[in-house]
C-alpha cells in the first residue's frame, strides 16, 4: 500500500492497493475517504462513512486494449490533472493517444474529442 498523491475531489490521499477481481490481480487507486463494502444483499456499495467516490481500477481502459494504468501514470494524473494514454484498436491494431482526466464518479475518463499533439514515449 502506498500513497500516490492528493485526491482531486477532497483532502484525502490516494492510495494504491493490490486487489483480486474475478481471479485477476489488479491495482485499485482509491481516495482514502472512498470505501466500499458488501452489504447484506451482496451489493458492493460505498460505506456509510465514505465522503468521496474517487476510485480508479488499473484495468479501467481494458476495453480500449490498455492492459493497465500504472502507479506512475496515476501519480502524474493526480499531479498534472491529466495524462496521455496509449490505446489500441482491436487485436493489437493501430495504437492511438488520448488525454485522460480524473472523473469524480468513474475515476478516470478519456477526452475523446481532443487530439493529442505530441506523443510521449
Q: 116 is written with which cell numbers?
A: 493529442
Dihedral of CA 98/101/103/106: which sign?
Answer: positive
Max CA-CA distance within the chain? 49
Judged by beta carbon, residue 81 or residue 89, the one nearer Zn ion is: 81
**Minimum Å distance from CB 30 to Zn ion?**
9
**Minimum Å distance from CB 106 to Zn ion?**
14
Q: Which residues would be at the binding site for Zn ion (CB under 5 A)?
A: 7, 9-10, 12, 31, 33, 52, 54
Judged by beta carbon, residue 50 or residue 59, the one nearer Zn ion is: 50
Judged by beta carbon, residue 29 or residue 54, the one nearer Zn ion is: 54
**Minimum Å distance from CB 104 to Zn ion?**
9
What CA–CA distances, in Å, run from 66 to 31, 49, 59, 91, 116? Answer: 23, 33, 8, 12, 17
Amino acid at each position: 500500500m502506498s500513497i500516490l498523491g492528493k485526491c482531486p475531489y477532497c483532502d484525502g490521499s490516494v492510495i494504491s492497493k493490490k486487489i483480486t477481481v474475478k481471479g485477476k490481480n489488479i491495482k485499485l487507486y482509491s481516495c482514502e475517504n472512498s470505501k466500499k463494502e458488501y452489504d447484506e444483499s451482496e451489493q458492493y456499495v460505498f460505506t456509510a462513512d465514505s465522503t468521496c467516490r474517487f476510485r480508479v481500477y488499473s484495468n479501467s481502459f481494458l476495453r480500449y486494449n490498455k492492459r493497465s494504468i500504472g502507479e506512475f501514470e496515476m501519480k502524474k494524473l493526480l499531479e498534472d490533472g491529466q495524462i496521455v494514454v496509449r490505446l489500441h484498436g482491436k487485436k493489437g491494431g493501430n495504437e492511438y493517444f488520448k488525454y485522460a482526466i480524473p472523473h469524480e464518479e468513474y475515476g478516470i475518463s478519456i477526452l475523446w474529442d481532443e487530439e493529442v499533439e505530441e506523443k510521449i514515449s
